[in-house]
Structure 1
Amino acid sequence: MAATKTWVLSLLVLEFTTVLGRQMLAQSVRRVQPAKRTSNTFAKPADSLESPGEWTTWFNIDHPGGQGDYERLDAIRFYYGERVCARPLRLEARTTDWMPAGSTGQVVHGSPREGFWCLNREQRPGQNCSNYTVRFLCPPGSLRGDTEHIWSAWSPWSKCSAACGHTGVQTRTRTCLAQTMSLCSEATEEGQLCVSQACTACDLTCPMGQVNADCDACMCQDFMLHGAISLPGGAPAPGATVYLLAKAPKMLTQTDSSGRFRVPGLCPDGKSILKITKTKFAPIVLTMPKTSLKSGTINAEFVRAETPYIVMNPETKARRAGQSVSLCCKATGKPSPDKYFWYHNNTLLDPSLYKHESKLVLRNLQQDQAGEYFCKAQSDAGAVKSKVAQLTVIAHDESPCNPTPESYLIRLPHDCFQNATNSFYYDVGRCPIKTCAGQQDNGIRCRDAVENCCGISRTEEREIQCSGYTLPTKVAMECSCQRCAETRSIVRGRVSAADNGEPMRFGHVYMGNNRVSMTGYKGTFTLHIPQDTERLVLTFVDRLQKFVNTTKVLPFNRKGSAVFHEIKMLRQKEPITLEAMETNIIPLGEVAGEDPVAELEIPSRSFYRQNGEPFTGKVKASVTFLDPRNISTATAAQSDLNFINDDGDTFPLRTYGMFSVDFRDEATSESLNAGKVKVHLDSTQVKMPEHVPAMKLWSLNPDTGLWEEEGDFKFESQRRNKREERTFLVGNMEIRERRLFNLDVPESRRCFIKVRTYRSERFLPSEQIQGVVVSVINLEPRTGFSSNPRAWGRFDSVITGPNGACLPAFCDDQSPDAYSVYVLASLSGEELEAVASSPKFNPNAIGVPQPYLNKLKYRRTDHEDPRVKKTAFQISMAKPRPNSAEESNGPIYAFENLRACEEAPPSAAHFRFYQIEGDRYDYNTVPFNEDDPMSWTEDYLAWWPKPMEFRACYIKVKIVGPLEVNVRSRNMGGTHRQTVGKLYGIRDVKSTRDRDQPNVSSACLEFKCSGMLYDQDRVDRTLVKVIPQGSCHRASVNSMLHEYLVNHLPLAVNNDTSEYTMLAPLDPLGHNYGIYTVTDQDPRTAKEIALGRCFDGTSDGSSRIMKSNVGVALTFNCAERQVGRQSAFQYLQSSPARSPAAGTVQGRAPSMRQQRASRGGLPRREGQLSLVGLHSPPCPPQVTAVVRLSNELSLVNLNTSVLVHLASLYLYLLSLSHDAGWQMAPRMTK
């Protein structure tokens, strides 16, 4: 008890200390005055490193999130009181990458008395403060009392490590004298830069020529090197700098206006190396040619510099303590990245230990090494950060998965209401799919040889009591770590024009430089995504050149399954003719009655051929502009409007227009380049004043889908004509290999919107849909009219997962109406509905409580006009206030709170979309979520027996009658010893009325395909019963289907004309048989394609309109029952003559009456079916009578009560025969 009290008291003290520390840091931050610039005493110290005193350890108590990075002295003193003296003499600040604060180019503040701070809002647009660490110089003896002899004196500095005349490192050490090791956490070794003494004599030897005066290169006085350097398009490269790489790079010369240079005195030894550099291009490294001549020539062409781009991200992994793990990161770029930095929980790992390598190996793992890891790749062109990987480390005796399944509700049939839960739902449980620490071999690989996931390890069979029958189900009872189900990610889509929906027929789809797919006649395409794909960047090329080549970044489901995307393309503008020898002006604007957003000015003599030769003829110019003032063009925006900043973080752009250019020789159609092109941007079109100075010109990298900076805009110094009253921003560009450009502003005001998608308006968490494409269009409202947007600025799409989706969007905390958004969702190309906002405004249905909902101004698109589609909603992006409780729980989250958004429970506020509930119902004995292929379970009764190979089967049923009818398929094991007589599942569908025939409807009904079960041991011919739920009798069976079933025994007997029973065919028969079969790696795709063929009545077509007379397997005649007339089965149920024998039979076999109690005609158990050529399971002993109505009536062991019922049934049928003109069988009348 005493130990418990001590433990609780310790926790309270720790909590109090933490809260007090936060308050101290907050008070320090509030005392900061951004307008007052503190002198940078840390940048240029007055004292040298040899000043008397002692340096403290390095401190890093804050990170640059929120407002900035605050390393305030009073807050540091609160946490580390003994380690800081009362009056520091100096302050030194560095980034966590060990760069001095004065070298970062950022606006920073600091003093020894107050500490150090950096404010995000004082930095350049799109850039935040770096993560800084600081230390203080204290007077000698001021850090600790003289009585505390913890450390020995520092040793003398070691000898400088560099050779003569060069810079190196020298070190010194000290020893900890304290008996308590906790006091020895400071550094035991320090280092500093040093310059060695000047060299006394030159030790360089030259195999050719003589040593120069600097003793760093060999010179040959009689040799002349000539060079010609060009740009990627063939144009000369003026202003390029040429270096000789010796002991230190030595500048030699620069290229002239024609891209040429001459350098005398170099030696043609085949060993000397030259480096040629130019801004925005990757450096060229050349080796001197080896020759005996007096001159030599080199030619080279620049390649555009490209920011590093991650092609391999570290993977999420799980290990036990003591095991090893490897995390890998790989980036490409021009030049290639040469340094890799690894971070653990946002803290840089020691580069000296991990050697800037792309592979991080951690051995003998401890639990404190768990957490988030990512890498940063760096080159001369920039840096980029990888995605975050989660490393889980558990103890040796800890279970890798929570053995208790979580709740998961499945919907039951319409006639299976559960009184216990007062609902149509049943909890079958499930195991959350996550990476777990399973069995691994000894190899340390980037990707584990076996991927392990938490899954169901034990199930229990239960029976659900329904109205007159029972449904078997498998309930998850235990979870464990096991091998993950094999999945495949697929992207499908349709490519069409943005203006009228014309499909791009037979176009090419490229991933990088590789053609990976082709569109069909209707513009559709399918792409199986390679397993190592991190970011799916596709370029769609129209061979007929009707449309502008379009690059899209498409989100996909990394856990597997197919995602459908609608790809919209801009129609290419009709070309105009330009004179290359004249100045040409091309307006950029597509909105009638509005001034152009910008203009292109192409000076005379600006065009040149691919080889650099000037072009003087006529030019066919096609310039296509995507005008953001036209809201309907948002979906045609290319890429995802992101760029990589200097620190390697991905930042969004807000567009003011994109334009694509195509210049060709009018005579030969040869592609032309253009240099010295000017872009004049009308500043009045930029409605946000803060965007004007931040405006830049960007071009799209089609390989990465990222935008790269081309140049800045500046105010025009003079007007182009005297009448012009507008003010223009001017940017310069060259049009070479890049053809798509963008007028964009980096925007740092970002938030996330939480959206969930559901199967119905019930909005149950268990009915969430995965794989839905949720898109957001950022809008710029007109002044004073928040509901009437002036333009769109950005388009993003996200795929919903098991916990919904978090959509990035611009937001503002000062002005809630500064930004607004449209949000829409689609699944397999069909749009989902948003929750209504009128005439009834229900916050509970929308999913967001008041008063925050009013602040967001939620409006569905049909709010003012009910004729408008209901598939989107608009909100104002009001950033949540940090001190407001009602705004802290969604649906808008600050950008730094992404994890809170992703992990928010279903009870947290969110926006909702839902499917219109159709006349279709699926029930599986072994639950399976078709949105998530990883939820597949190994079981003989699994509807889909094999992952990665989903086979969907449909049968077409024609209904002749005045009403639409529900049709049910009941699917049971037929020939396999493990499943015979056991239920796989049921499917319900409502027939679709024919447009041309008033009394005809048809249904495409799914049934379980025959074939191998999950063990791949032997096939099972599924026993399928097709049951129209009404007063129906079978009229005909497709002759080819009947012949096939007769020739492929066993054959199911069909004595009951109100239904049809068959052993499903093993072969994919096709439309001539009325059977439609499709196999795909995604279950939803297989069902959608098979359903489209069934509607069309063909084996290769597709339709959404039911063609009732084509490709039919079964025909039923269904009569409309007269009002008040009972069916024979209802008559038996309501008959007053009852006895125990005629009531409910206890056990597994029901009475005949109970078999027909449901309108679906569901048979109670498997023992009551007769098969020709197959031995039926024996009936249970509780059954005392088997009644078989066919050509004759056989009675066995009937008691008086049963005879009374049969007599009543006979009289009822006899009365019906007079009305309908039926002929009773002769032996029946007996």
Structure 2
Amino acid sequence: RPQASVLALCGRASAPGSLMPALATPLKRDHDSLWDHGEWTTWFNVDHPGGNGDHEHLDAIRFYFKDKVCERPTRIEARTTDWVPAQNTGQVVHASLQEGFWCLNKEQPAGKTCLNYAVRFLCPIGKFWSPWSKWSVCSAECGKTGVQTRIRTCLAESHLDLHCNEATEEGRLCIGPSCSGCDSCMCEDHVLHGMVSLADGAPAAEATVYMQSETLKLLTESDSNGGFRIPGVCPDGNYRQRFLAIKFTAMNKPYIVKNPVDKVRRIGQSVILCCKAVGNPAPAQYLWYHNGTLLDSSVYKYNSKLVLRNLNIDQAGEYFCKASNDAGSVKSQAAKLSVIASDEASCDPRPESYFIRLPHDCFQNATNSFYYDVGKCPANTCTGKIDQGLQCKDRAIYCCGVSKMEIREISCSGYTLPTKVAVECGCSMCTEIKMTVQGRATAADNGEPIRFGHIYLGNNRISMTGYKGTFSVHIPADTERLVLTFVDRLQKFVNTTKVLPFNKKGGAVFHEIKLLRKKAPVTLESSETNTIPLGDMEGDDPIAELEIPPNTFYRQNGELYTGKVKASVTFLDPRNISTATAAQSDLNYINEEGDMLPLHTYGMFSMDFTDETATESLNAGKVRVHLDSAQVRIPEHLQQMKLWSLNPETGLWEEEGDLKPDQSTRRKREERIFLVGNMEIRERRLFNLDVPESRRCYVKVRAYRSERFLPSEQLEGAVISLINMEPASGYSSNPRAWGRFDSAVTGPNGACLPAFCDEQRPDAYSAYILASLGGEELEAVPSSPRLSPNAVGVPQPYLNKLNYRRTDHMDPRIKKTAFSITVVRPSPGTAGESNGPIYANENLRECEQAHYSAAHFRFYRVERDRYDYNTVPFNENDPMSWTEDYQAWWPNPMEYRACYTKVKINGPQEVNIRSRNMGGTHPYTVGKLYGIRDVRTIRDMEQPNLSTACLEFKCSGMLYDQDRVDRTLVRIIPQGQCYRESVNSMLQEYLVNHLPLAVNNESGEYTMLAPLDPLGHNYGIYTVTDQNPSIAKEIALGRCFDGTSDGTSRVMKSNVGIALTFNCVEREVVQQSLFQSLQNSPRQRERTRIRRQQRDICNRQAKMRRVTQSRSSPRVQCTPTD
């Protein structure tokens, strides 16, 4: 709604925020002067010198102590809690009669922080200002805009100079008189009717309508219903009556849709960096920065594109753009430009060390370990063939990779194992990859799957969830921030917008999406005032409540709605830690400078209003939210509390307005203080009570394949989540609620997660950290019975300061998949705290680039009884590590096909089974090893002499050149005294009908040429194709365990979907231990024989008693004797 602009013209005064010593020392005046007239307030101390400093603001004092400070105090006095006057402390402080007193830590000498100050104010007695004069005549000419002014006088100006430091004159905009001359065409007997509406259809009351002529001419204003009538105006001159419908569009901040990308160039070449933002209105200005310094637009002549010609070394670095429109600004992601000499190699030719684990029967005496260094080349961007002309993104992207490999023979127990070792790195075209996110969408309360829900990217529906809530979404190229909205088509759950981290190196990342169940609707009367509480924690008051005035609801076309309203308001209460994973978005916003900053939430609420039949969605205006200040335990947050709404397209929160102290009388709770904010319920239905939080650190976390924690066994693609806990009153380390939820995906150097921290109070903030990979939870390092700094990854004494605790620290029955820490901001001068795992906000780059030896927290995958070996090394968590080679286990980096077969063992013991996979029919690979897989059978809990295993083998199909098919020769070898008992008849028939047929002369193993077709559980073969090898293997393994082609299980079902059956007996012991030799002595053998006979007799007698005896019959105990 348009409002008059008021211009405040101040009289003489000192500038607000002047240095305290100049203001705190009172001027010497006569004792009887008006300067000393008045009454001093009590001393106030509402803040402590933590965070940025000590802030004793008048707004905060008036909030906590109503009616204790007059509206216009005449003096301010500040002292420390030790009663030292502020002007005698030597510190830099500030004071203002309008704002209060403050001291900033950053302005103090190095190593010093602000003292703790208290303030009091002198309040005058009597009036000091005259009434305002009448408004002056409008200064504008006819038909134009001008200014009206009015003045007042300070009655005590000669005595109270400081008290008179307020506006003595103010102004407002006005319209001049109507012009008598004609400056536009008019049509007699014509009338123009119109209707002005807002973006959601609501009427736009008091909208001004102008005629565009030589100068804008005000014609009329719209009425309360948005309508207007203008006589004498005809748009086309043909009709005497015309109607115009005008609809305003909402103003939106810009949002980056295209970020500049990393590039490598040589000296003397040219490059173009591109940036694109959208908004309403469209961004009118683009600024470019190099290493944080603004580039001169008059020199570089840039717009949304920056062209750099004849490059030199000094122009290397990071570049980002800043786009602006009338609503605000936004900054892009930074792109790295590398500039190298014309004769310099763009890749280091020397491979880095990369250790692979060898089979259990391949111990290396030379290194005294089971590991072998095969080397790797980091997939950094390099310079290759440059396109003709400048392109925003190079058509061909070049990366460093393996350019030369050598075959090495590794000596093992009874055999040699071939492997290929990287010996030289070079620049070549990057491996083409696909980026996907997969996961499962379920209810936050009971895990109910969201069946056939819709998934939106922006306004476009791109996918659906399956029957079990599973989903898979392909990520478009150049995506920097993936924002997906999950919509339940049955409307049982709240629409949920998530910002999902993904692996930019390709592959799939698995996410668990939790949706809040909608609250059951309540019926409201639209003509009455309605109140809805927010928060239903048992034993605690609501955090806030909604107040809906009468006659507030209206239809989508703007008409006022009267009648009954069905209202469903779902509140996400941060006092319940189990709701943290259901938090919407990633709790970030864009500030005025265009930077993305974090928010600390006090609760989110989703509102759904419909008519009585629940067929039409209703809007609402003038809704008020009242926040109970007693629920805000951090005093400085009360002054910063704002109301936000979520933009579902960007996943960013946008400010709706401030929350201010409620001056009205609150029914039934007059003794409690509330903050109140106003909002309108239109197209956005999700709101948030949040505070911008600047006290931030970063936590370094790595994930590993096993608890050996070797650098080469780091896992990429693991999702690390951090739940920030809000401190209770007094900054206790025992938190009462969560305040933020963040996630990140591990790369080759782990992950850095943002976390709140406090510089002054180490125990202020704590956090829970958990990790998962492909839906499988990873374990944290234990903290009891003994805390090991070497295992945790953090040295002492810093580890004790962080108060590391795994979730099962006090109760071993609890899961071991998370840990809690106190987020202690590192002290710059303290040894052992400058090298992780906590990094200050300004040291994010150090956190991201930290060496493996730097302190970090650790998760690890519980090692299963299985082993994988590839002749051509490949990290399944890093698709960029794929190498073009005929012996590569995975021939296509865009599509990974996993194959498993189910093997049953009849025998008393669990057995290791190996698949040895070699080229079978391809001329380049025949007889050459692709890799081996080892797995241990799982014993059936009901049948003691039965165990089963799901064994991976290399699928048949095209090799990397996609030229010719190879039928993999697979040898399945149980490691023990075993013989082949049976083969699945359908599998055998398939192999016979699809020649060639492998020879099976060895009874203790089975050989086959792997089928080309994706056979199913009826054959005992399980095949799954996916963009991520780990996901493909996990799904195939789950189907194999279940013995079906479409199900999944984590429990082995031993008698269904079997391909092979072996019969294995216990191995004969060649060498006996001392205990075995004693047990096998003649006397001991005789005793054992007698005991066995007596035990058999007792068992037969017991069976007979169970058949013949009644319940009242006496029991007979049979005990074997020597």
TM-score (norm 2): 0.78
Maintained 8 Å contact 1:34/1:119 = no
Once the two structures are TM-superposed, the CA of residue 303 in structure 1 deviates from its matched residue by 2.4
Matched, 1:377 2:344: no
Match of 2:640 among 694, 704, 708: 694
* Inter-CA distance 629–1046: structure 2 relative to 1 (3 Å threshold): same
Maintained 8 Å contact 2:21/2:93 = no
Once the two structures are TM-superposed, the CA of residue 1017 in structure 1 deviates from its matched residue by 2.3
Maintained 8 Å contact 1:590/1:626 = no
- 5 Å-filtered alignment, 1:239-388, equals 239-242=206-209, 254-261=221-228, 289-291=235-237, 297-355=243-301, 357-388=303-334
SS at match of 1:661: strand
Paired residue for 1:1163? none
Given residue 738 of structure 1, which amino acid in structure 2 is its aligned partner? R
SS at match of 1:751: strand
Once the two structures are TM-superposed, the CA of residue 246 in structure 1 deviates from its matched residue by 7.0
Farther-moved stretch of structure 1 (351-360 vs 631-640):
351-360
Paired residue for 2:365? 419
Matched, 1:233 2:233: no
- 5 Å-filtered alignment, 1:79-90, equals none
Deviation readout 1:1140-1168 (Å, 9 max, x if unpaired): xxxxxxxxxxxxxxxxxxxxxxxxxxxxx
Match of 1:494 among 440, 447, 451: 440
User: For the residues of structure 1 that align with 2:451 and 2:869, how far apart are their CA atoms?
Assistant: 39
- 5 Å-filtered alignment, 1:521-600, equals 521-600=467-546
Maintained 8 Å contact 1:212/1:219 = no
CA RMSD of aligned residues (A): 2.6
Deviation readout 1:371-407 (Å, 9 max, x if unpaired): 1000011111111000000011111101011111111
Paired residue for 1:1070? 1016
Match of 1:882 among 805, 808, 828: 828
Maintained 8 Å contact 2:727/2:737 = yes
Paired residue for 1:1027? 973
SS at match of 2:1024: strand
- 5 Å-filtered alignment, 1:6-17, equals none
Once the two structures are TM-superposed, the CA of residue 537 in structure 1 deviates from its matched residue by 1.0
Paired residue for 2:560? 614
Once the two structures are TM-superposed, the CA of residue 997 in structure 1 deviates from its matched residue by 2.2
Match of 2:376 among 409, 430, 454: 430
SS at match of 2:640: coil
Matched, 1:1051 2:997: yes
Match of 1:624 among 570, 575, 591: 570
- 5 Å-filtered alignment, 1:52-71, equals none
Deviation readout 1:545-575 (Å, 9 max, x if unpaired): 2111111111111110000000011111111
Once the two structures are TM-superposed, the CA of residue 238 in structure 1 deviates from its matched residue by 2.5
Maintained 8 Å contact 1:212/1:218 = no
Farther-moved stretch of structure 1 (347-356 vs 1012-1021):
347-356
Once the two structures are TM-superposed, the CA of residue 895 in structure 1 deviates from its matched residue by 1.1
- 5 Å-filtered alignment, 1:792-871, equals 792-871=738-817
Paired residue for 1:953? 899
* Inter-CA distance 798–254: structure 2 relative to 1 (3 Å threshold): farther
User: For the residues of structure 1 that align with 2:823 and 2:816, how far apart are their CA atoms?
Assistant: 21
Paired residue for 2:1051? 1105
SS at match of 1:692: helix
User: For the residues of structure 2 that align with 1:730 and 1:1033, how far apart are their CA atoms?
Assistant: 79
Maintained 8 Å contact 2:777/2:817 = yes
Given residue 972 of structure 2, which amino acid in structure 1 is its aligned partner? V
Maintained 8 Å contact 1:583/1:601 = yes
Given residue 264 of structure 2, which amino acid in structure 1 is its aligned partner? A
Deviation readout 1:704-735 (Å, 9 max, x if unpaired): 11111111111111322365321111111111
User: For the residues of structure 1 that align with 2:20 and 2:597, how far apart are their CA atoms?
Assistant: 27
Paired residue for 1:739? 685
Paired residue for 1:1184? none
TM-score (norm 1): 0.72
Maintained 8 Å contact 1:752/1:898 = yes
Once the two structures are TM-superposed, the CA of residue 1052 in structure 1 deviates from its matched residue by 1.9
* Inter-CA distance 619–291: structure 2 relative to 1 (3 Å threshold): same
Maintained 8 Å contact 1:313/1:386 = yes
Matched, 1:763 2:709: yes
Given residue 898 of structure 2, which amino acid in structure 1 is its aligned partner? A
Match of 1:452 among 382, 395, 398: 398
Q: Which runs of 5+ in 2 are unaligned?
A: 1-16, 24-50, 54-91, 95-102, 108-177, 1073-1122
Matched, 1:980 2:926: yes
Matched, 1:1092 2:1038: yes
Paired residue for 2:697? 751
SS at match of 2:734: strand
Maintained 8 Å contact 1:677/1:734 = yes
SS at match of 2:832: helix
- 5 Å-filtered alignment, 1:1199-1210, equals none
User: For the residues of structure 2 that align with 1:367 and 1:808, how far apart are their CA atoms?
Assistant: 33
Maintained 8 Å contact 1:607/1:672 = yes
Maintained 8 Å contact 1:376/1:386 = yes
* Inter-CA distance 476–681: structure 2 relative to 1 (3 Å threshold): same
SS at match of 1:304: coil
Once the two structures are TM-superposed, the CA of residue 304 in structure 1 deviates from its matched residue by 2.4
- 5 Å-filtered alignment, 1:1032-1043, equals 1032-1043=978-989
Given residue 201 of structure 2, which amino acid in structure 1 is its aligned partner? G
User: For the residues of structure 2 that align with 1:957 and 1:785, how far apart are their CA atoms?
Assistant: 58
Name the count of aligned residue pairs: 914
Maintained 8 Å contact 1:339/1:357 = yes
Matched, 1:514 2:460: yes
Given residue 988 of structure 2, which amino acid in structure 1 is its aligned partner? H
Once the two structures are TM-superposed, the CA of residue 989 in structure 1 deviates from its matched residue by 0.8
SS at match of 1:885: coil
SS at match of 1:718: coil
Once the two structures are TM-superposed, the CA of residue 479 in structure 1 deviates from its matched residue by 0.7
User: For the residues of structure 2 that align with 1:349 and 1:851, how far apart are their CA atoms?
Assistant: 46
Once the two structures are TM-superposed, the CA of residue 244 in structure 1 deviates from its matched residue by 6.1
User: For the residues of structure 2 that align with 1:1084 and 1:449, how far apart are their CA atoms?
Assistant: 30
- 5 Å-filtered alignment, 1:193-208, equals none
User: For the residues of structure 1 that align with 2:410 and 2:976, how far apart are their CA atoms?
Assistant: 24
User: For the residues of structure 2 that align with 1:658 and 1:805, how far apart are their CA atoms?
Assistant: 27
Deviation readout 1:685-709 (Å, 9 max, x if unpaired): 0000000011011111111111111
SS at match of 1:1085: helix
Given residue 507 of structure 2, which amino acid in structure 1 is its aligned partner? S
Paired residue for 2:953? 1007
Maintained 8 Å contact 2:731/2:761 = no
Given residue 785 of structure 2, which amino acid in structure 1 is its aligned partner? P
Once the two structures are TM-superposed, the CA of residue 35 in structure 1 deviates from its matched residue by 5.0
SS at match of 1:781: strand
User: For the residues of structure 1 that align with 2:18 and 2:365, how far apart are their CA atoms?
Assistant: 66
User: For the residues of structure 2 that align with 1:385 and 1:676, how far apart are their CA atoms?
Assistant: 33
* Inter-CA distance 871–423: structure 2 relative to 1 (3 Å threshold): same
Once the two structures are TM-superposed, the CA of residue 1046 in structure 1 deviates from its matched residue by 2.2
Once the two structures are TM-superposed, the CA of residue 757 in structure 1 deviates from its matched residue by 0.5
User: For the residues of structure 2 that align with 1:843 and 1:996, how far apart are their CA atoms?
Assistant: 42
Once the two structures are TM-superposed, the CA of residue 1067 in structure 1 deviates from its matched residue by 1.9
Farther-moved stretch of structure 1 (634-643 vs 315-324):
315-324
* Inter-CA distance 792–928: structure 2 relative to 1 (3 Å threshold): same
Once the two structures are TM-superposed, the CA of residue 484 in structure 1 deviates from its matched residue by 0.3
